[in-house]
Structure 1
Amino acid sequence: HNLGHALQQQDKWDTAIACYQKACELQPDSIEAEVSLANALYLRSMLPAEKQAHYAAVNYDLGRKRKLSGDLKAAIEYYRSSIIMNPDKAEVQYHLGLALQKHGNLDEAIVCYQKAQEIEPDYIQAELGLANVLYTQNKLSAEDQARYAVINYDLGNAHQSNDLKGAIEYYRQAISLQPGLAEARDRLLLALQEQENLKIKVSFAKR
């Protein structure tokens, strides 16, 4: 379906859609080929309305998988496709913001975090994401730095048991905002040790 994407970029929609359909025939189990076809059909106003919520969710899931594998560019595309089909999901806006932030698109990330907050005013992760970007731009007051450092620390603790990678990110951000936050340093060290232990266990399991 890479050829289909290239044709789509050239505005050759009919040929692109035909390519995606062929890819689906050749790879009937490929969810990415199916989604590429659905996204193209949507952009041509050819995707049935009752299927749009489903494919918005599938785009979001693919975006998260690509982000976890380190392919931020593909993740951003999937998140954008999800939002085009269903713009009222705060979680998707937030994750697009995260991906854009990691990719260095800070101004776009800010817009996404703000949209997430508009949809869900109590969405603490979106508020925190916005604060973290503002900090990197030297636009966060010392008082807010201290407050958001504690929030990052608390979220790190909340993620420790089921999302070690996420917890480590929160602890690192807490320390960045408030270098003197000893509790965050201690927790980060423990989390990194646990992560290393898990890697060793996986390595032994593969032998």
Structure 2
Amino acid sequence: MKKQIIIAFTLLLSTFLFAQKKELKAVEKALKNNNYSEAKSLLSQIEPMLSSMDAKTKSQYNYDKAQALYANGAGSSKDIDGALESLKNVSEGYQAEVAQLKQNMVNKLLTSGNAAYEKNDFSTASNDFEQAYRASTKDTTYLYYAAATAVNMQDFDRALGLYKELKDLGYTGIEKQYFATNVETGKEELFQEKGLRDVSVKAKTYIKPEDRKSESKKAEIVKNIALIYISKDDNENALAAMKEARAEDPDDINLLLSEANVYYKMGNTEAFKNALKVATEKDPNNPELQYNLGVIASESGDVDEAMAYYNKALELDPNYINADINIAALILNKEQALIEEMNGLGSSKKDDLRYDELKGMRQQLYRDAIPYLTKALEIDSKNISAAKTLMNIYSVLGEKDKYNDIKAKVDAIEAEN
């Protein structure tokens, strides 16, 4: 009796496996005829049998499911994700078929991604590049493209995740590059493939072949992680990432400035000032750094130091308009103390003399500011702030002709706006 039960069960199992294979043959027939919707329908009917399938039959099912979902490139983004997930479950056989299907996916996704990128459809491009990487994880450059295009569409959360994945993978982006000099133009050119470069040299249309390695993108990736944290106002993580980025590229001035800006946003003026000073030591001929140090000195109440930094900025770049405007502001800010003293004077002869003295000092402030405001207008004729300040100064000084000239400019600027 026991033996009969075993035989009966074996017969039942064989019948069940036969049914599975029969269903899968129907799926493969639908796939052969490019009838992907029918294939998906049949696969959904087979799915409840998965737990009873052997490893080889499961692999066949998952390979067929991947083909049905991909639909020779017609599948949706979600379908492609499903197809890639199914291919992960192909454990026996089909190695060559899986490799070919993945290569087809990569080729189509890259074509689609590049076309989307050309149309500034960064969302589609980023998704296509990421899926190309998921289909071919040895090609980490595709993941880098996905992260970069996510930044272009300002999807910083997505970009952050992709950049962190690249960082964890140890991606550097270093690759061999093939150069040669064009005989006709005399200019060096980069070739996409070594074989093409070598054929061109052999044909004597190019000379001086040279192989080089591209620069590492590791510092750029860590830097972008830090900058994304900054954009998200996550200052603590930004500073931690910035520290790591600077360790990768200590001479990157822009990175140092970004770190300084984080300190500024956090209200840590001293750290901001120190970071700018370090940047100034690394790049002493950068007028922007001198100007920013001037701003900090001014906000700290150190007028003389601020004036020195602004003048240094103008020395490095005579057309640095913001330095001209801020110098004029520093000069005019001294007016308030004079006005307060003038308003506090009495009517005695001594007070009258002091009043006239203060009035002369006030007018001198105006005259000292005029050259900087005039120069600012010469650099930017539409600068309404500089124009209005000049107009008011000439009004107070009683210089009617100059006042009328500037007023006409102010009116013209305002009319345009």
- 5+ long unaligned stretches in structure 2: 1-75, 89-104, 117-124, 173-216, 299-305, 314-319, 326-375, 384-417
Change (3 A) 1:27 1:145: closer
For 1:145 and 1:119, the matched residues in 2 are separated by 17
- Give 1:14's match in structure 2, choosing from 85, 89, 99: 85
Q: Could you tell me how far apart the structure 2 residues matched to 1:105 and 1:2 are?
A: 32
Task: Work out the CA distance in 1 between the residues paired with 2:259 and 2:267.
Answer: 12
Higher-RCO chain (CA-CA 8 Å, sequence separation at least 6): 1
**Aligned residue number for residue 107 of structure 1:** 236
Matched residues in 1 for 2:243 and 2:164: separation? 16
Give TM-score, length-normalised by structure 2.
Answer: 0.30
Distance in 2, matches of 1:61 and 1:178, equals: 37
- The match for 1:35 among 117, 125, 129 is 129
Poorly superposed stretches of 4+, deviation over 6 Å: 151-154, 170-173
Distance 2:293 2:221 in 1: 24
CA offset at residue 110 of structure 1? 1.3
Which of residues 118, 128, 149 in structure 2 aligns to 1:62?
149
How has the CA–CA distance of structure 1 residues 47 and 72 changed in structure 2, closer, same or farther, with 3 Å as cutoff? closer
- 1:132 Cα deviation after fit: 2.4
TM-score, length-normalised on structure 1?
0.53
Corresponding residue for residue 147 of structure 1: 277
Cα distance per residue 1:148-206 (max 9 Å; x no partner): 6858996675xxxxxxxxxxxx899667644446457716988xx69x9xxxxxxxxxx
Report if aligned partners of 1:64, 1:75 keep a CA contact under 8 Å in 2: yes
Q: Please tell me the residue identity of whatever aligns with 2:277.
A: R
How far apart are 1:111 and its partner, in Å? 1.9
1:64-86 deviations in Å (ceiling 9; x for gaps): 423xxx44334434433443441
- The structural deviation recorded for 1:137 is 2.7
- The aligned residue for residue 224 of structure 2 is 95
Residues 1:174 and 1:3: Cα distance change in structure 2 (over 3 Å):
farther
Distance in 2 separating the partners of 1:27 and 1:145: 44
Q: Distance in 2 between matches of 1:79 and 1:119?
A: 15
Q: Which residue of 1 aligns with 2:157?
A: 73
Structure 1 spans left out of the alignment, 5+ residues: 158-169, 197-207
Matched-pair identity in % = 13
Q: Is the 8 A contact 1:113 1:130 kept in 2?
A: yes
Contact map agreement 1:93 1:116 (CA 8 A) in 2 = yes
What does 1:148-163 correspond to in 2, within 5 Å?
Answer: none
Aligned residue pairs, count:
166
Give the deviation of 1:108 after TM superposition.
Answer: 1.6
Q: 1:78 to 1:14 in 2, by over 3 A?
A: same
1:144 alignment partner AA: N
- Bigger drift between 103-112 and 172-181 goes to 172-181
The superposition leaves residues 100-132 of structure 1 with CA deviations (integer Å, 9 ceiling, x where unpaired) of: 101111122112211112222222222232232
Distance 1:174 1:75, change over 3 A: farther
CA contact (8 A) 2:110 2:132 kept: no
Residue by residue over 1:37-72, the C-alpha shift from the partner in whole angstroms, topping out at 9 and shown as x without a partner, is 14545xxxx612xx22x2254235324423xxx443
